[in-house]
Chain A
Amino acid sequence: MAEKLVIASSAKEAAALKNSKSAFLAGGTEDNRLNSTVDAKTLISIGRIADLDGITKKDGCIRIGAMTTFQEMLDSSLVPDYLKDACRFMGSRTKRNMATVGGNIALRRTDSYLYPTLIASHAVLELMDAKGEVSERCVCCYLKRYDELKDCLIVAVNVPQKASVVSKRYANTVQSHAVLTVSVGEVEGKIRVGVAAKNTALKSLCDISEALSQKDLSDDEIKKMIEADKDLRFESDIFGSPEYKRYLLAVTISDLAKKVKGGKR
């Protein structure tokens, strides 16, 4: 547990306070839980910053404030259905009242509810640095350059209003953490594949995405590309063997790609 709590009154104040020994406190479902992955002496509460709330529409994009909860996204008429599908992966209604989109992104959990969908839809984050300057980064760039961006405050996430994205999540129960979540999306003619594989990887499968954008791939072709991906080194555990997980990932990507290309959500 943290030793100090600071209630920030503005996004700039929160961003300026962040350092290696502190963490932002959003919904609290990870920061405050038993065995949390967050280790911080000081928590900077961003729950009372109005600038981080709200869902708006602009230029074909839906801008979602970082403190928007999963349930608020589900209740919104603006949030695209493909993102609502990902919000429903969180089984508890009460937890959905608390957990926020910004918190889920910042945690980068390998069983993330939202990341595969955000990768597949080419979501763009608004990040505020310690000087209060806001820049935009696509969610894949945020993952790749996390060490450089980790102290930035996530202000909002922008997702395309019109995108074809389908997702599949594998877990023991709806309340359990997922062993594998996969999303395939098509935005402006480009296919993107996002994957969250528990204790293994959270990433965009760029090679498979490029290939799928050019042509259809067989299950075996996808499986070979997965085997060649050095980040996807699955381990044997209660959910299955590495071979089984590679097979599951390959056939899921194949199935979702067919749905996206066939225009079926």
Chain B
Amino acid sequence: MRIDCIINGKNRSFDIDPTMRLRDMLLINGNFAVRDSDDCEGFCGSDTVLVDGTPVYANLVLAGEVNGCEIRTPDGLGNSQHLTIVQQAMIDAGVVQSAYNAPAAALLLTWLLEKNPNPSKEEIGKESESFQGGDQGCLKRNLHQRRRL
């Protein structure tokens, strides 16, 4: 099946099995920051991407479902030479706990701050629910740090 979509602002086309997981399709595209820390069980959050502006787990979406969609991944935020303000804030706050959830956390923080530049503590708490384990606490601390900047 031919899949046409926009990934991080660029038009992309794939001729692939539509039952392939979206994360695997993104790896083919070179989006290595979309991690998989729970073997597709769907609770860790490291595979979070935005599909048409909504955070979803890429392992739980099939490639055939994103035909015509716009996808954002953590790879689209910045790079090692040019970090975004959110990525830099995560380093400054010392909350990059692992290379698994940190990219997805940066994406989710960016999404939240684009929607709401001044999130309340409650809103921060709600967004951090998307991650499992210690990364949740790190995410909360990072957002509080971001509020102070």
Contact = CB atoms under 8 A, between A and B. Distances in A.
Q: Decide whether A and B assemble into one complex.
A: yes
Interface of A: 1-5, 7, 25, 27-29, 32-35, 43, 45, 47, 91-95, 97-98, 174-175
A206 B16 CA distance: 50
Contact of B60 (A2, A29, A45, A93): A29
B17 to A, nearest CB: 8
Interface of B: 1, 18-19, 21, 38-43, 45, 48, 54-57, 59-62, 64-65, 67, 108, 126-127, 129-130, 132
Nearest to B42: A33
Contact of A92 (B39, B64, B130): B130
Contacts of B64: 5, 7, 45
Contact of B59 (A25, A32, A47): A32
B53 to A, nearest CB: 10
Contacts of A25: 62, 65
B52 to A, nearest CB: 11
B45 A94 contact: yes
28 contacts: A2-B19, A5-B1, A5-B64, A25-B65, A28-B60, A28-B65, A29-B57, A32-B42, A32-B59, A32-B61, A32-B62, A33-B40, A33-B42, A34-B40, A34-B41, A34-B42, A35-B41, A43-B62, A45-B65, A93-B55, A93-B126, A94-B48, A94-B55, A95-B57, A97-B54, A97-B55, A98-B60, A175-B132
A4 to B, nearest CB: 7
Nearest to A7: B64
A27 B1 CA distance: 21
A69 to B, nearest CB: 9
B127 A93 contact: yes
A109 to B, nearest CB: 14
Nearest to A42: B19
